Amino acid sequence: MELTPLLTVLLLAPTIAVAYLAWTAFSLRRRSRCYLLDYVCYKPAEDLAVTMESVSEVVRRNKRLSLPEHRFLLGLIARSGLGDRTYGIRSMLEGREECPTLQDGLDEMDDCFHGAVTELFARTGFRPRDIDVLVVNVTSFSPEPCLASRIVQHYRMREDVAVYNLSGMGCSATMIAVDVAQNAMRARAPRPVLALVVSTESLVLNWYSGKERTMLVGPCLFRCGAAAALLTSDPAHRGRAKMELRHLVRATTAASDDSYSCIRVREDDDGIIGASISKALPTAALSAFAANLRRLLPRVLPALELARLAADIAYQKLRGHREVKMKVNLKIGVDHLCLHAGGVAVIEAVKRSFNLEERDVEPSRMTLHRWGNTSASSGWYVLSYMEAKGRLKLGDRVLMVTFGSGFKCNSCVWVVTGDMADKGAWADCIDAYPTESTGNKYMEKFASLVHDDVGDA
């Protein structure tokens, strides 16, 4: 009888061990998930609003432009897809775009950070000291201390907050930032993690005032904007989350010379630094998107559609086609497409190549019209448009696609898990969208100056 307790323990020990391991694995899986609690798109102050008239003043100030370059620039702006009210930078509005200071750049970042992050904390009820992981992405401005440290200092975050500062990653950086945050969560599992992702871009210290045509595209397209997103791995907060991250795929085609060089910062013949954007951009975007989809589609498409796609690709190869095209219906795997508002040419190229309807690219086109290309944060403005329009329903799958220099295409699939009825930065103008036309007053006012050879921006 004295051996009974010992035998019981010995018999139950394997069962207890298996149960413990199973529970640990289940707990790790639950806490390795990534939930989007909320996000905020920054709306700049009204004194930073720019109209086509104020943009034309900046054009006239550039004494380096001869008549042909002047006509080219006016035509580029007219066909850019931007509306008559976007947001610029203070140094440009004050006539100092050619001689900004370091403090101008820091002030620009502070406005973006505080405008998005402060509102995000207010809306969610979390405090800065609750943040475990901070990821900041700003491509073309990397001061010391870094911008992530600047946020930590301003909000007095904890000493053990894990800080990541991304630079040089282009307009696709926000997906990289989310990936970094997600990996940081997994590394800390099963401990619950709260992560803050901040995406913006510096325009002040990267304004181009030269005359080279490929480098004039940037100032025509890029505008002030920022976004902050709060992510967590804590399943206890799933009930209050807006979305859950299901898949995230990154692809880069930098091994291709054309893709690598289609967007790059360099000096022009006069030694003026700016971002050069070539006509190869739409092709590079589609190539990177195709590389991304080859890894993403097996995760989102049903088996029957995958089989059809594989058979179609095999048939094209048998016919000896030099360029095999993926004739895929994206809407079979997802419900909404949240496409980076990079420019008219890229939006049109994606729409045409994947046989999308106008409604599918409408959020991206309207975002470009209202806010311009806000670089890495633009995807959040597109998502906010969908939310403000009431299009995102419980269980909907949203494919967010971003493009950036390198060339990179990063994408993710969100699943709507909560209420999404906030109008955000679109609150005062969403009823005016979609507009019947994405043209602007420039085309009417300067029609006589616009050349037919001006390409789409």
Give the CATH number, domain containing residue 201. Answer: 3.40.47.10
> Regarding predicted confidence, which is higher, 5 or 60?
60
Report residue 52's pLDDT band, with 50, 70 and 90 as the boundaries. Answer: confident
Say whether 16 sits in a helix, a strand or coil.
Answer: helix
Pairing of strands 397-404, 408-416: antiparallel
Residue carrying structure tokens 């998107």? 289
The pLDDT mean for the chain works out to 89
**Is residue 312 a contact partner of residue 276, using CB atoms and an 8 Å limit?**
no
As a whole number, mean pLDDT of residues 230-254 equals 97
Provide the domain limits for residue 38: 34-449
Residue 390 lies in a domain: yes
Residue 370 lies in a domain: yes
Is 123 exposed, middle or buried (CB count within 10 Å of its CB: 0-12, 13-18, 19+)? middle
The β-bridge partners of 1 are none
The number of domains in the chain is: 1
pLDDT in tens, 425-440: 999 999 999 997 766 5
**Residue 64 contacts by C-beta under 8 Å, 6 or more apart in sequence?**
209, 210, 211, 270
DSSP state of 156: T
Say whether 207 sits in a helix, a strand or coil.
Answer: coil
Count of CB atoms situated within 10 Å of the CB of 209: 19
Residue 230 lies in a domain: yes
User: Could you tell me how many residues make up the chain?
Assistant: 457
Residue 55 lies in a domain: yes
Residue carrying structure tokens 């890029």? 222
Residue 3 lies in a domain: no
In what helix (H) or strand (E) does residue 399 lie, and over which residues does it extend? strand 397-404
Residue 418 lies in a domain: yes
One DSSP character per residue, 77-101 reads HHTS---S-EE--HHHHTT-TTS--
Which range of 177-186, 204-213, 324-333 scores highest in mean pLDDT? It is: 177-186
Count of CB atoms situated within 10 Å of the CB of 345: 20
Count of CB atoms situated within 10 Å of the CB of 218: 20
Residue 29 lies in a domain: no
- The radius of gyration computed from the CA coordinates of the chain, to the nearest angstrom, equals 24
As a whole number, mean pLDDT of residues 67-72 equals 85
Q: Give the pLDDT confidence score for residue 336 in this predicted structure.
A: 97
One DSSP character per residue, 129-148 reads GG-SEEEEE-SS---SS-HH
Cα 450 to its chain centre, rounded Å, is 31
Max Cα distance, the chain (Å): 105
Q: Give the pLDDT confidence score for residue 238 in this predicted structure.
A: 95
- What angle (nearest 5°) sits at the alpha carbon of residue 64, between those of residues 66 and 445? 55
Q: Measure the CA–CA gap between 28 and 45, rounded to whole angstroms.
A: 43
Q: Measure the CA–CA gap between 317 and 338, rounded to whole angstroms.
A: 31
Q: The pTM is what? A: 0.90
Distances 45 to 111, 142, 405, 451 between C-alpha atoms, Å: 9, 24, 29, 35
> Regarding predicted confidence, which is higher, 317 or 271?
271
Q: Give the pLDDT confidence score for residue 457 in this predicted structure.
A: 39
